[in-house]
Amino acid sequence: MSREIIIGFLGCGNVGSGVWRLLEGFGPEIEHRAGLKFTVKKVLVRDLTRQRGIAFPQGVLTANPDDVLGDPEIQIVVEFLGGEEPAYSLMLRALNAGKTVVTANK
């Protein structure tokens, strides 16, 4: 039996879409080997109409940060926004909500 980890993305540009593809591609192997199933529930983007070359499931993309930060099911928030703001403020909100935060920034 696998343990499911629910993830929310803040941003989905080059790095975020690459991580999405890695999770999609290696997800079954990770689940088999480690017993962990990673599910990305919400992906915050600026432009919902922009083509990203990924067939996101219906309802995954959002332009509202509260859909990621306010969702009690999301355990881990991964930040791919870049720059200082709004990345800093959103990560602080996620931490204050008790979520684990991972950032792709240096």
Mean pLDDT of all residues belonging to the chain: 94
Position 2 scores a pLDDT of: 83
- Cβ–Cβ < 8 Å for 14, 53: no
Position 27 scores a pLDDT of: 93
Position 86 scores a pLDDT of: 94
C-alpha distances (whole Å) from 65 to each of 2, 25, 53, 62, 105 are 28, 26, 22, 8, 19
- Segment holding 13, helix H or strand E: none
N-term to C-term CA, the chain: 36
Average pLDDT over residues 25-46: 95
Cβ neighbors of 69 (< 8 A, separation 6 or more) are 8, 77, 90, 93, 94, 97, 99
pLDDT digits (tens, 9 = 90+) for 43-88: 999 999 898 889 999 999 999 999 999 999 999 999 999 888 999 9
The pTM of the full predicted model, rounded to 2 decimals, is 0.92
